[in-house]
C-alpha cells in the first residue's frame, strides 16, 4: 500500500542544518504528500497543517516519541550479517560441554543443512582452548564457530578441508582449526557466501534487512561488495521492493601490477552506470583495505607495537593507491579506504590528496576513510580540509572490547584512539556505522558509545575511552542520519526531516540524554511515508 497525504503529530521531530547537529531543533509536526515526500516541517498552528487536513490528510499520532530521520548505516556487510543472524547462538553456553550439546541438538534438528554455523563462542567458555579435535566427533558436516568478536573462527576438520587455505599467512591454523583475523574475513566469510545457495542468500539478505528495519534504519552502505553479493541483490530486487536504500562499494584487491589494480575499477564503473538512476540500490564506488586491525597487530602504525616492538606496514602503498584513486575520481565515483592504524590513515589521506582532481578539497568528491581508529592530530585535521568523510564505528570504541589496547599501544597512543571530536572540529563530515556483523548494529547503542564513550555491551562497566573526544548527542544523531546520508549521496532523498526529502523516519521512545540511550527503544520505522515496522507493545 502506498502512502497517503499525512500529518505526523504529537512527536518531537529532530531537525538540523548541515550534517553536524550543531544547529538542531525539534519541530511539532511534519506534513507529507501522496508520494511520501515531506512538504512541511513546523508547528501544528501553521497554515500548511490546516490546509493538509482540510484536503483529507491522515493523522499519524507519534505518541510523544522523538522522531528522527531513518538511520543510515554508514558501513556494513549485509549478506554476512544475514548469515550470522541465522547461526546457532552459543552466547548462553558456559562450557565446552554446553557448546557440544548445543551443536549436537542443532545437528539432530537440522539433518538437511549442508554445514553447521554457530556464533557467540568466547575463549573463556572453553578455558582458552579450541581445536578441531574438540568438535570432530559431533557431526561429519563442516562446523564453523564464530568467536563473539568475529576475530576468530573455530572449525572442525571437515570445515578446514573445504576451505582454500592456500597462501594463508598462518599455516598453524590448519591443524588447530582456529582461523584468526584476516583469515576470517578473507577466507571463511567469502567461502560461506560462495557455497550458500541462492535461496539461502536471499533469506539471509531478507533477514538482515528486516533486522535493520526493526532498528530504525532506512538506508545502509554495503562495503566490500562483489559479484556473488551482486547476483543475490539483483534477484532480491526482482522479487520485491526493498524497505531500505542500499549503496555499495566494490572491493578492489591488491594485484601484482598497477594495470591489474586499476583494471578492477572498470567493473565498478560499469556497475555504477547500470544502477546510477536507481533509488533503492546503487554502486557508490570502490573499497580498498589499507591495513588490518589493532588487536591482531596488523593495523599499520607509525611506531612499533608496544607489546612486541614489531611494526606492520600498510597493505597498499601511496604509490599503489593513487592510480586507483585517480581513475575512480575521474569517473565520478567514490573511494572508501579502510584505514585503522595511524600509518594507514596517513597513507590513505596522502593517496586521496594526490589522486583527487582537479582540486583536493573539492567537497563534492565525497571520498571517505573507514574506521580511523588511531589518527594523529595533524591527520585528523586534514580530513575536513580535503573534504574526506570520516566513516566511523563507535561500536568498535566500546571499552569492553579494548582491554588489550594499553598493552598493544601504550597509554600515550591510547589517548589518541577514536578521535571523533578532532575530526568534527576539523569540519570533516562524520558518517556513523556499525560494521555489522563485526559489532551489534543497533543505532541507538552505537550513538550511546559515540556520545558517552562507555560500553553498550557491558553497561555496568564504568570505563570510558577518551571521553574528551566524544561527540555531543545531537552531533552523533546527525552523523548517523544526515552525515551517513551525505557520505553516499543519499542526501538527495533522505537523511533529514526537511521539505523535499522522503518521509523516512525512526520513531524512538527515548529521553534526550546520551546516558539514557540504552533504555531507548525504536517504536516504528517509516520508509517513503509507509509504516514498515511496528514494535510489539
Ligand atoms: Zn567492514
Average pLDDT of 310-327? 95
Q: What is the pLDDT of residue 414?
A: 97
Structural domains of the chain in order of their starting residue, each with its CATH number? 6-64+501-534 (2.30.40.10), 79-187 (3.10.310.70), 252-471 (3.20.20.140)
pTM higher than the cut 0.85: yes
Distance 215 CA to ligand 1 centre (A): 19
Distance 49 CA to ligand 1 centre (A): 43
Give backbone dihedrals phi and psi of 347, rounded to 5 degrees, phi first.
-60, -45
Distance 381 CA to ligand 1 centre (A): 24
Place of cell 584512539: 417
Instruction: Report the C-alpha gap between 426 and 504 in whole angstroms.
Output: 29
Q: Which helix (H) or strand (E) holds 267?
A: helix 258-275
SS3 content of the chain, % helix, strand, coil (to 5): 40, 20, 40
Distance 223 CA to ligand 1 centre (A): 6
Distance 337 CA to ligand 1 centre (A): 11
Instruction: Report the C-alpha gap between 426 and 463 in whole angstroms.
Output: 27
Distance 57 CA to ligand 1 centre (A): 42
Instruction: Collect all residues with Cβ–Cβ distance below 8 Å to 93 and sequence separation of at least 6.
Output: 99, 102, 120, 121, 125
- The percent of residues in the chain predicted with pLDDT above 70, rounded, is 97
Predicted confidence (pLDDT) per residue in 214-272, tens digit: 999 999 999 999 999 999 999 999 999 999 999 999 999 999 999 999 999 999 999 99
Distance 293 CA to ligand 1 centre (A): 11
How would residue 537 be classed by pLDDT, with cut points 50, 70 and 90? confident
Handedness of CA 333, 339, 344, 346 (dihedral sign): positive
Nearest to 474 by CA among 11, 12, 19: 19
Average pLDDT of 87-111? 96
Distance 75 CA to ligand 1 centre (A): 6
Q: What is the pLDDT of residue 15?
A: 98
Distance 146 CA to ligand 1 centre (A): 16
Instruction: Report the C-alpha gap between 106 and 92 in whole angstroms.
Output: 15
Nearest to 430 by CA among 474, 468, 463: 474
**C-alpha cell of residue 436:** 555489522
**C-alpha cell of residue 477:** 544523531
Distance 435 CA to ligand 1 centre (A): 5
Distance 182 CA to ligand 1 centre (A): 12
Distance 87 CA to ligand 1 centre (A): 19
Q: What is the pLDDT of residue 506?
A: 98
Distance 351 CA to ligand 1 centre (A): 20
Q: What is the pLDDT of residue 334?
A: 97
Q: What is the pLDDT of residue 180?
A: 82
Distance 185 CA to ligand 1 centre (A): 9
Distance 399 CA to ligand 1 centre (A): 19
Q: What is the pLDDT of residue 359?
A: 64
Q: What is the pLDDT of residue 365?
A: 87
Q: In a 3-state reduction of DSSP, which class is residue 61?
A: strand
Average pLDDT, rounded, for the chain: 94
Distance 423 CA to ligand 1 centre (A): 20
Distance 74 CA to ligand 1 centre (A): 10
Distance 34 CA to ligand 1 centre (A): 37
Amino acid at each position: 500500500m502506498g502512502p497517503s497525504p499525512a500529518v505526523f503529530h504529537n512527536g518531537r521531530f529532530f531537525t538540523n542544518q548541515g550534517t553536524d547537529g550543531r544547529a538542531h531543533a525539534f519541530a511539532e509536526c511534519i506534513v507529507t504528500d501522496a508520494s511520501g515526500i515531506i512538504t512541511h516541517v513546523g508547528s501544528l498552528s501553521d497554515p500548511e497543517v490546516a490546509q493538509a487536513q482540510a484536503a483529507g490528510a491522515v493523522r499519524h499520532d507519534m505518541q510523544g516519541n522523538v522522531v528522527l530521520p531513518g538511520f543510515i548505516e554508514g558501513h556494513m556487510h549485509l549478506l554476512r550479517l544475514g548469515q550470522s543472524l541465522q547461526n546457532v547462538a552459543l552466547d548462553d553456553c558456559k562450557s565446552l560441554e554446553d557448546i557440544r550439546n548445543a551443536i549436537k541438538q542443532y545437528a539432530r534438528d537440522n539433518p538437511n543443512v549442508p554445514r553447521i554455523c554457530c556464533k557467540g563462542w568466547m575463549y573463556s567458555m572453553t578455558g582458552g582452548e579450541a581445536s578441531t579435535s574438540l568438535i570432530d566427533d559431533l557431526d561429519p558436516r563442516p562446523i564453523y564457530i564464530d568467536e563473539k568478536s568475529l576475530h576468530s573462527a573455530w572449525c572442525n576438520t571437515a570445515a578446514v578441508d573445504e576451505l582454500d587455505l592456500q597462501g594463508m599467512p598462518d599455516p598453524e591454523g590448519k591443524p588447530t582449526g582456529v582461523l584468526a583475523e584476516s583469515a576470517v574475513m578473507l577466507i571463511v566469510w567469502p567461502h560461506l557466501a560462495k557455497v550458500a545457495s541462492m535461496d539461502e542468500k536471499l533469506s539471509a539478505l531478507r533477514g538482515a534487512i528486516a533486522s535493520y528495519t526493526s532498528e530504525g534504519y532506512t538506508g545502509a552502505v554495503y562495503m566490500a561488495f562483489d559479484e556473488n553479493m551482486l547476483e543475490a541483490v539483483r534477484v532480491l530486487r526482482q522479487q520485491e521492493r526493498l524497505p531500505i536504500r542500499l549503496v555499495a562499494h566494490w572491493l578492489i584487491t591488491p594485484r601484482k601490477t598497477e594495470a591489474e589494480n586499476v583494471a578492477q575499477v572498470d567493473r565498478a564503473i560499469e556497475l555504477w552506470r547500470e544502477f546510477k538512476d536507481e533509488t533503492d540500490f546503487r554502486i557508490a564506488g570502490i573499497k580498498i583495505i589499507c591495513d588490518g586491525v589493532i588487536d591482531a597487530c596488523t593495523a599499520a602504525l607509525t611506531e612499533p607495537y608496544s607489546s612486541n616492538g614489531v611494526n606492520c606496514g600498510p597493505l597498499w602503498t601511496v604509490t599503489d593507491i593513487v592510480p586507483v584513486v585517480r581513475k575512480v575520481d575521474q569517473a565520478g565515483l567514490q573511494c572508501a579506504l579502510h584505514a585503522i592504524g595511524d600509518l594507514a590513515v596517513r597513507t590513505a589521506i596522502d593517496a586521496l590528496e594526490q589522486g583527487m582532481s582537479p582540486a583536493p578539497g573539492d567537497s563534492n568528491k565525497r571520498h571517505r576513510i573507514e574506521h580511523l581508529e588511531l589518527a594523529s592530530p595533524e591527520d585528523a585535521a586534514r580530513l575536513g580540509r580535503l573534504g574526506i568523510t570520516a566513516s566511523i564505528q563507535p561500536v568498535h570504541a566500546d571499552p569492553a572490547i579494548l582491554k588489550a589496547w594499553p598493552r598493544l599501544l601504550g597509554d600515550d597512543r591510547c589517548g589518541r584512539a577514536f578521535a571523533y571530536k578532532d575530526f568534527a572540529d576539523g569540519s570533516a563530515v562524520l558518517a556513523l556505522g556499525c560494521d555489522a556483523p563485526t559489532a551489534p548494529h543497533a543505532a541507538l547503542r552505537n550513538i550511546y558509545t559515540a556520545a558517552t564513550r562507555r560500553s553498550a555491551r557491558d553497561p555496568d562497566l564504568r570505563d570510558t575511552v577518551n571521553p574528551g573526544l566524544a561527540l555531543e548527542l545531537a552531533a552523533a544523531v546527525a552523523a548517523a542520519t544526515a552525515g551517513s546520508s551525505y557520505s553516499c549521496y543519499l542526501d538527495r532523498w533522505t537523511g533529514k526531516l526537511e521539505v523535499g526529502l522522503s518521509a523516512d523516519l525512526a520513531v524512538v521512545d527515548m529521553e534526550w540524554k546520551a546516558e539514557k540511550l540504552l533504555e531507548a527503544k525504536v517504536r516504528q520505522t517509516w520508509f517513503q511515508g509507509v509504516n514498515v515496522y511496528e514494535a510489539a507493545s
